[in-house]
Structures are given as C-alpha cells and as structure tokens.
C-alpha cells in the first residue's frame, strides 16, 4: 500500500491563481470552508449526534467538519435553506463530488498518513438523512477505502472538477506552474488506468463501485484514448510554466488534451482519434513512397542502359534534373526531422473502457 502523501492543496493553488475563484467548484469549496467556521447551528447538531459514532480523538476534526458540510447540503436539498442552490447551482451531483474531493484532500493531507475511510462517513450520512428527512436526488455513497484508493480518487476528481470542466478557462490562463498541471494530469492518467483496472475486476470492489457511480453520474462514456511512446524521456521544470506535462491541444470540436510522462504520452478526446493516426500513416507513407521512387529512378539513370538515353540529353536537361533532386531532398529532410520528434518509433493504440458492460 502506498504511503506517499500528495502535496497538492487546492487552497494553495487558488491563492496563486485568482481565476480559480470564479469556477463553480471554487465557489463551492470556499462555501464549504466558510460553513465550517460560521455555521454554529449545524455544528451543534453534528456534536449532538457524534456520540452515536466511534471517532478517534486524533481524527475528530475531519469527521465533524464533514458532518457540517453534509448537513448544509442535505438542508438545501430539503429546502430548509437556499444559500447553496440560490448562490451557486442547483446541480446536486457537483455538491456530492465536491464533498468527496474535500474529504479526500483533507484525509490525504492529514498528519496521520495512511488513514483510510471506514463506515463512519456513510453512517453519519444515514443519521443526517434520517434527521433531516430528505436525501439527495443522486447516489452519493461514501465507500470504505484505503489510503491508496483515496489518493487515486482525489486525483481523478481534481482533474475533472478543476481542469476538465473548465478547459476553456485554463486555455486562456496559461501562466500556471507545471507542478500544479502535472498533479492534475496525474488525475487523467489515474482515470485511464483505473478504467482498465476496473473493467477486469469484480464490481464488488469499493473503489470500482465509486468510479462506476462517478461515471454514471456524469455519463462519462464516450471518451477516446490514444497512447504513444516518446523516443526520449520527457522532463519538466515544476517551477516553470512552459512545456508542462498537461496541455490543451483543442478546446472544442474536438476537445483534445494530452499528458506527458517520461517516455509516454496520453491523449484524451471527446471524438474518435482514428483520423490522427490515419493522417500520420498517410504522411509517412507518402514520404516513403517519394523517397523509394526517387532512389529507383536514380538507379536507372546511373547504372542501366535505360539511363544512357537520358545521358545523351543536353547539359541543360541534366541541370534541370539535378535541381529537381535537390528540391526533393530539401522537402524530405525537414518533414523527417519533425516526424522523429513527435511520431517516429511511436506505438499508437486507441482504447475505450466502460464499467457499464453487462
């Protein structure tokens, strides 16, 4: 089991990039933290019910703050108050996923490394649902998870909530340190690898259950992946904002994002990427055909009797042929050089994974 702690903090990220305050998730995250500080009524209700649960003393703060936030979400769903729905959005899905991200970040950054999620949080939700007499309109289950699974889901939700839902905003705001973009890119990679993992595992696995719930909640099925292999290892400077590991190639029609890591590159698009592969093959084939034909003609010209017919031509004709050869050579080399940087010796594969197979 991994005990490496993620060092990503949304609060720190937002502090350096003010545009994040305008995001829907940014507003929700800020409201969550304000409720913890300001909502004394919810805090009293949570304290009154915590005796029904077994909460370790060293771990008391996170479950209590979780209860305060969830109480407010359920109260808004019930119609008791309207500060969430009135000020931000009525979409209950994003409150659920945002709360899960808030929980996983707080657990991941807690001093007690290796903390897992047990039945405590789902039990507390059950208590609050019974007390308020209302529930969310979408499934929002808090599964038992170990620390490694928590970190995986935390990265996935960070990529989706912060980056993927707001790629237009990120495309306009390019002055972002690579260390933050790399963390968000790891969420893309984690999502891809988790889909592969869960497509071959039993659906009784809690991690895969939560991933399936997330997929169904947002209908994330029509996504196309393409893997490629770099000929040289990619390295980024985490303090720089240039040549970062996570890049937006196209904002719409299609959406296309790529994440680079070591010798690999992962593409994500909302449209089929077969056309990219076809265009690469077509260009390579065209260059190969041109080169092969040129070599064949050159052989005929120099070493066969057929070539003697051409050698009887005037010096002007010879000069014209040589000029054509030079122009072809000048055209081929730049294209070959460009291909070697991006596509030479690359293995492409398009993948589609779904947890909804029956």
The two tokens of residue 112 are 């007690």
**Residue 255 Ramachandran class (φ > 0 left, ψ -120 to 50 alpha, else beta):** beta
Q: Is the pTM of this model over 0.85?
A: no
Q: What is the pLDDT of residue 58?
A: 66
Specify whether the CB–CB gap between 29 and 100 falls below 8 A: no
Q: Cβ-count burial of 154 within 10 angstroms (0-12 exposed, 13-18 middle, 19+ buried)?
A: buried
Phi, psi of 228 (to 5 degrees): -140, 160
Query: For position 49, what pLDDT does the model report?
Result: 82
Q: What is the pLDDT of residue 31?
A: 92
**Do the beta carbons of residue 99 and residue 90 sit within 8 Å?**
no
Task: Kindly report the length of the chain.
Answer: 358
Q: What pLDDT was estimated at residue 318?
A: 43
Residue 95 CB neighbour total at 10 angstroms = 27
- DSSP code for 177: -
Backbone angles phi, psi at 119, to 5 degrees: -75, -5
The pLDDT score that the predictor gives to residue 202 is: 66
State residue 128's pLDDT score. Answer: 93
**pLDDT per 10-residue tile (average), the chain, 358 residues:** 62 94 94 91 87 76 93 89 78 95 90 71 92 90 94 96 96 93 95 90 84 89 80 82 93 92 90 59 34 44 50 45 32 25 31 44
Asked if 116 contacts 108 with a C-beta cutoff of 8 angstroms, the reply is no
Cα–Cα dist 26/36, whole Å: 16
Task: Tell me the CA end-to-end span of the chain in Å, nearest whole number.
Answer: 31
Q: Name the β-bridge partners of 264.
A: 229, 261
Enclosing H/E stretch for 250: strand 246-250
Is the distance from CB of 179 to CB of 339 less than 8 angstroms? no
CB 254 within 8 Å of CB 276: no
pLDDT of residue 275: 57
Task: Report the alpha-carbon angle 316-321-326, nearest 5.
Answer: 125
């Amino acid at each position: 089991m991994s005990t490496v702690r993620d060092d990503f903090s949304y609060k720190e990220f937002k502090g350096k990039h003010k545009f994040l305050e305008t995001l829907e998730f940014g507003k929700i995250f800020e409201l969550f933290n304000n409720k913890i500080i300001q909502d004394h009524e919810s805090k009293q209700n949570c304290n009154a019910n915590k005796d029904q649960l077994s909460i370790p003393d060293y771990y008391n703060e996170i479950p209590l703050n979780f209860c305060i936030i969830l109480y407010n979400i359920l109260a808004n769903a019930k119609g008791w108050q309207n500060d969430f729905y009135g000020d931000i959005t009525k979409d209950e899905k994003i409150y659920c996923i945002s709360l899960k991200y808030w929980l996983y970040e707080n657990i991941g950054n807690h001093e007690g490394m290796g903390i897992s999620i047990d039945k405590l949080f789902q039990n507390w939700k059950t208590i609050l649902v019974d007390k308020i007499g209302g529930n969310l309109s979408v499934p929002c289950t808090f599964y038992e998870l170990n620390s490694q699974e928590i970190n995986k889901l935390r990265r996935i939700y960070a990529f989706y909530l912060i980056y993927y839902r707001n790629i237009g905003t990120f495309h306009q705001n390019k002055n972002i340190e690579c260390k933050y973009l790399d963390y968000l890119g790891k969420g893309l990679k984690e999502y891809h690898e988790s889909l592969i993992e869960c497509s071959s595992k039993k659906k009784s696995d809690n991690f895969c259950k939560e991933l399936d719930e997330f997929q169904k909640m947002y209908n994330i099925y029509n996504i196309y992946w393409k893997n490629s292999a770099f000929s040289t290892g990619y390295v980024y400077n985490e303090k720089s904002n240039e040549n970062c590991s996570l890049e937006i190639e196209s904002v719409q029609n299609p959406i296309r994002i790529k994440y680079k890591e070591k010798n690999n590159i992962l593409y994500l698009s909302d449209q089929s990427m077969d056309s990219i592969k076809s265009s690469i093959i077509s260009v390579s084939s065209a260059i190969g055909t041109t080169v092969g034909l040129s070599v064949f003609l050159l052989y005929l010209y120099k070493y066969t009797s057929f070539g003697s017919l051409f050698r009887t031509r005037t010096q002007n004709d010879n000069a014209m042929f040589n000029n054509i050869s030079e122009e072809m050579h000048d055209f081929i080399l730049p294209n070959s050089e460009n291909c070697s940087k991006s596509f030479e010796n690359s293995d492409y594969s398009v993948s589609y994974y779904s947890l909804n197979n029956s």
